[in-house]
């Protein structure tokens, strides 16, 4: 780690994690220096084990790190690693000496062990086995594997995946989940070892059994940090590696893969993708895989797992018609699935079919108010591109009538302007919104009519509508802002009304809102030439609010 700097740590961690790591320098303990690594414990929300690897192949200055905190487990260089790195940098002068001492210790230990007579070495190993249960289990696994004792390896794997030693009241709590995952990880190592020693067939058998046992165990483990998910992914990789080495019967493998995908036994814990096995399955196995997937889907067309498998296979094979058949078997009532089909057909350059499916989506939707807006947008874009402007306006009109929102109004306006018929469409749309406003007077949020007129930049009409049918405070504020230059007296009345209730509230957000209104009130008085009235208003307000120091400071900052 010669030459490592704080800048390198910042580059590894990013500015935020680096700054947060500065606050953990006093939390680092138990620093141990090896020839190519440094380990320590960092006490944060929990107790975390961290390790910096020196002279690695990645990262600035060849430094990488691992930490068992949630952020570190995602592969990030976390604040705990920053704290350890900074601690090491503080000892940079002594680091070469410590690394040399670690190398010397390792060489001395190796020389001593190499010189021990066989019996003494066996005695030492037996003592360590008696003291360390985890070591005993690892060696038992190696011994069973070396003997070709599949039953013995299976028994050890079962023990390693057993949650009972870690479960309190039948459940492995968060604090014990890491220890259980570490133990279960030894089963994964054993399975990989079988493949490496030329016994891939046994590795296939045991990896499948381990997946099932892990899935059962996961139901009783608080895996908030995802330890079991990582182990499940590792088992999936080990199974694939074993299959590539052993080359099992393609048909049997295809049947197992489909059963695993549809069985839902591990709830996604291993996340095996059958297509990852294409090189192992070959043409024969892939044919069986597709046949089984089709049979399963035909038997349960709305099954989530069956649909996912069929969709995956169809996409991989470029079979658009099969993919559409899968989607069409369970059409959403709001037209969303129709849109998905249309986009798939567009990707396949079948634009006419895509348009028919999109139009069918509109027809199939019972209530146009519930239709997926993206489907309406898609169709109108297609109509516009084809010069069918009247069709686009008609669809936008129908959608607006069903869902009288500001967005639907805006989309109708855009379509009608493109077709040069907005005045007539606007008159009809405003008639509907005016009727809605009269029926909904006093409801929370204010009428869409006011929003539509404001969006049309017809402030006078919006003001008249608000006065006739009511408006929300937010709408009145917008109205006052837009008309302050032309009707300052009316705007002033709005601002004063909105400011009054804020004077009885506290909090910085309230104060910022109030000061914004005060600035608008001042502008209105300036336009009206009533400066003295504003001065009197602010003086009275300051006297009444003088105990609100943050408000007073904010008013001072704005010259109020």
What integer pLDDT is reported at residue 130 of this predicted model? 85
What integer pLDDT is reported at residue 252 of this predicted model? 95
The residue from 115, 140, 175 where one domain ends is 115
Cβ contact 519:558 at 8 Å: yes
How far is Cα 426 from Cα 416, in angstroms, rounded to an integer?
9
What integer pLDDT is reported at residue 314 of this predicted model? 87
Question: Is residue 424 domain-resident?
Answer: no
Together in a domain, 107 and 151? no
Cβ contact 293:305 at 8 Å: no
Cβ contact 169:145 at 8 Å: no
For the chain, give the number of residues.
560
Helix-strand-coil split of the chain, %, nearest 5: 70, 5, 25
Q: What is the DSSP letter of 47?
A: E
- Tokens linked to 484: 């302050």
The residue from 219, 248, 277 where one domain ends is 248
Together in a domain, 96 and 155? no
Question: Is residue 396 domain-resident?
Answer: no
Together in a domain, 73 and 20? yes
What integer pLDDT is reported at residue 270 of this predicted model? 82
- Count the domains in the chain: 3
What integer pLDDT is reported at residue 82 of this predicted model? 92
Cβ contacts of 197 within 8 Å, gap of 6 or more: 145, 146
pLDDT digits (tens, 9 = 90+) for 288-339: 999 999 998 888 888 888 888 888 888 888 889 988 988 888 899 999 999 9
Question: Is residue 51 domain-resident?
Answer: yes
pLDDT digits (tens, 9 = 90+) for 28-47: 988 888 877 888 999 877 88
What integer pLDDT is reported at residue 15 of this predicted model? 87
Cβ contact 326:314 at 8 Å: yes
pLDDT digits (tens, 9 = 90+) for 506-548: 899 999 999 999 999 999 999 999 999 999 999 999 999 989 9
Together in a domain, 185 and 212? yes
What integer pLDDT is reported at residue 319 of this predicted model? 87
Question: Is residue 477 domain-resident?
Answer: no
Listed as ranges, residues in the chain with pLDDT below 70 are: 1-3, 55-62, 145, 148, 264-267, 441-445
pTM above 0.85, yes or no: no
Domain that holds residue 185: 124-248
Strands (E), 369-519: none
């Amino acid at each position: 780690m010669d030459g490592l700097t704080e800048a390198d740590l910042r580059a590894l961690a990013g500015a935020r994690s680096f700054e947060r790591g500065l606050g953990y320098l006093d939390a680092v303990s138990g620093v141990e220096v090896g020839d190519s690594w440094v380990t320590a414990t960092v006490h944060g929300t929990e107790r975390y084990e961290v390790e910096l690897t020196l002279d690695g192949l990645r990262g600035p200055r060849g430094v990488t790190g691992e930490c068992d905190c949630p952020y570190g487990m995602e592969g990030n260089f976390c604040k705990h690693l920053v704290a350890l790195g900074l601690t090491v940098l503080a000892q940079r002068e002594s680091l070469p000496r410590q690394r040399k001492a670690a190398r010397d210790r390792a060489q001395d230990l190796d020389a001593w062990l190499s010189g021990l007579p066989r019996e003494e070495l066996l005695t030492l190993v037996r003592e360590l086995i008696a003291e360390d249960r985890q070591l005993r289990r690892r060696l038992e696994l190696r011994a069973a594997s070396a003997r070709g004792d599949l039953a013995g390896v299976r028994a050890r794997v079962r023990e390693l995946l057993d949650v009972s030693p870690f479960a309190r009241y039948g459940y492995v709590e968060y604090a014990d989940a890491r220890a259980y995952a570490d133990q279960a990880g030894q089963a994964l190592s054993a399975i990989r070892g079988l493949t490496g020693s030329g016994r891939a067939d046994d590795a296939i058998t045991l990896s499948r059994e381990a997946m099932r046992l892990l899935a059962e165990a996961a139901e009783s483990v608080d895996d908030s940090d995802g330890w079991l998910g990582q182990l499940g992914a590792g088992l999936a990789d080990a199974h694939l590696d074993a299959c590539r080495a052993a080359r099992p019967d393609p048909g049997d493998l295809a049947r197992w893969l489909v059963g695993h995908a549809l069985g839902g036994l591990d709830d996604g814990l291993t996340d095996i993708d059958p297509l990852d096995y294409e090189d192992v399955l070959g043409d024969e196995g892939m044919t069986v895989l597709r046949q089984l997937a089709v049979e399963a889907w035909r038997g349960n067309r709305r099954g989530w797992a069956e649909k996912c498998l069929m969709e995956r296979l169809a996409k991989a094979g470029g079979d658009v018609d099969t993919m559409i058949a899968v989607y069409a078997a369970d059409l959403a009532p709001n037209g969303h699935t129709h849109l998905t089909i249309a986009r798939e057909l567009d990707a396949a350059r079948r634009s006419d079919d895509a348009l028919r499916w999109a139009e069918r989506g509109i027809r199939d939707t019972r209530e146009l108010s519930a239709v997926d807006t993206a489907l309406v947008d898609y169709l109108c874009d297609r109509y516009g591109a084809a010069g069918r402007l009247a069709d686009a306006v008609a669809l936008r009109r129908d959608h607006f009538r069903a869902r009288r929102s500001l967005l639907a109004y805006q989309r109708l306006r855009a379509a009608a302007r493109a077709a040069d018929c907005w005045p007539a469409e606007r008159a009809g749309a405003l008639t509907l919104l005016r009727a809605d406003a009269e029926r909904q007077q006093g409801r929370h949020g204010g009428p869409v009519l006011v929003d539509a007129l404001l969006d049309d930049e017809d402030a006078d009409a919006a003001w008249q509508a608000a006065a006739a049918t009511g408006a929300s405070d937010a709408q009145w504020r917008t109205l006052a802002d837009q008309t302050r230059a032309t009707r300052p007296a009316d705007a002033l009345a709005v601002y004063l009304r909105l400011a009054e209730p804020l004077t009885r509230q506290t909090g910085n957000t309230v104060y910022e809102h109030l000061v914004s209104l005060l600035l608008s009130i001042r502008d209105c008085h300036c336009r009206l030439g009533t400066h003295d009235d504003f001065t009197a208003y602010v003086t009275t307000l300051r006297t009444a609010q003088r105990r609100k120091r943050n408000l007073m400071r904010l008013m001072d900052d704005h010259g109020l």
